[in-house]
Amino acid sequence: MGRDSALLAVVVGAVDYGAADRIVRLLSAEEGRSAVMARRARSARSRHAGLDVGSLVGVQMRQGRGRLPYVTGVDPVRLPRRARTDLDRLALLAYGCELCAALAPEHHEAPRLFGLLDTWLQLLEEEGTPGPASRVALEAKALTFAGLAPQLVICARCGEPLEDPAVFDPEAGGGVHARCGGGKSVPVRLLHAIEALRRTPTAQSIGYALAPEGWWLLSDFTQHQLAKPLKSRPLLEGL
């Protein structure tokens, strides 16, 4: 007999399976990254409305004979609305979901990453449009909550306070004195600005000015840590 369970989760991805089913990827505080099978989710009479990327939902599920539990009920809590009609917000929604899910452990508690993504999705529904600085703040917090924060204040090689000339080297773990190693040349003031964003509440990052050379520094670092590209990044770069 199957075992029933329930999760409050954000839908972070989905892939079609078979003729009418869909594998839905979730991020929750209790389970981190997980996946469920939504049977007949692509049929005209599907009862699984609300399982769209960026939606906060209560999911009821049952563990059957298959590898994945299957969805028995969906309770939409908050659905993206403004982000569905604005391409910039939609791109930021997709990026935030992919980023936080990729950094979360599978089937292990991840309350801080779940909370960060939930806050990000709420921010995308408000009046102000998050810019590059807000996205960098999201990346900085996500890396910190995943235990992968880069060094931005001290040299990742010698441990001394960073000073110019400096470089950023993902392999070394972040900011490095130019005399200690190679990497992408970057002013220390920019690294300090990113560190300030890491400590700034996400909602307060809107309107924060950040030099363009810092816009993709942490995204590059994240991709290095994951050893794979973030698929949602090209859309953001093209906007």
- 101 and 152 share one domain: yes
The SS3 assignment for 99 reads: helix
**The predicted structure's pLDDT at residue 45:** 67
Average of per-residue pLDDT values in the chain = 95
CA distance 178 to 71: 53
Residues 62 and 109 grouped into a single domain: no
**Which is it for the CA torsion 16, 135, 145, 126, positive or negative?**
negative
| 99 and 49 share one domain | no
Please indicate, yes or no, whether residues 113 and 182 belong to a single structural domain of this protein: yes
- Read off the pLDDT band of 1 (50, 70, 90): very low
Question: What per-residue confidence (pLDDT) applies to 44?
Answer: 60
Segment 68-86 mean pLDDT = 94
Lowest mean pLDDT among 16-25, 110-119, 193-202: 16-25
pLDDT digit string (tens) for 123-175? 999 998 899 999 999 999 999 999 999 999 999 999 999 999 999 999 999 99
Mean pLDDT along residues 43-53: 77
- Same domain for 42 and 120, yes or no, is no
Q: What pTM was computed for the model?
A: 0.95
Q: For the residues 32-44, what does the mean pLDDT come to?
A: 87
Domain that holds residue 142: 82-238
What is the per-residue pLDDT across 174-205, written as a single tens digit (0 to 9) for each? 999 999 999 999 999 999 999 999 999 999 99
Cβ–Cβ under 8 Å, residues 160 and 171: no
Strands 174-177 and 32-38: unpaired
Domain count, the chain: 2
Same domain, 72 and 188: no
Residue 117 class from Cβ within 10 Å (0-12 exposed, 13-18 middle, 19+ buried)?
Answer: buried
Predicted confidence at residue 65, as pLDDT, reads: 79
**Antiparallel, parallel or unpaired: β 70-78 and 56-63:** antiparallel
Q: 65 and 112: one domain?
A: no
User: What share of the chain in percent tops pLDDT 90?
Assistant: 88
Q: Are 91 and 235 in contact (CB under 8 A)?
A: yes
| H/E run at residue 66 | none
144 and 109 part of one domain: yes
Write the single-letter amino acid at 154: I
Q: Is the same domain home to 23 and 131?
A: no
Task: Over range 219-235, report the average pLDDT.
Answer: 98
Predicted pLDDT of residue 64: 79
Return the pLDDT at 2: 59
Judge if 148 and 44 occupy the same domain: no
Burial 66-87 (b: 16+ CB within 10 A, else e): eebbbbbebeeeebbeebeeee
Residues 226, 128, single domain; the answer is: yes
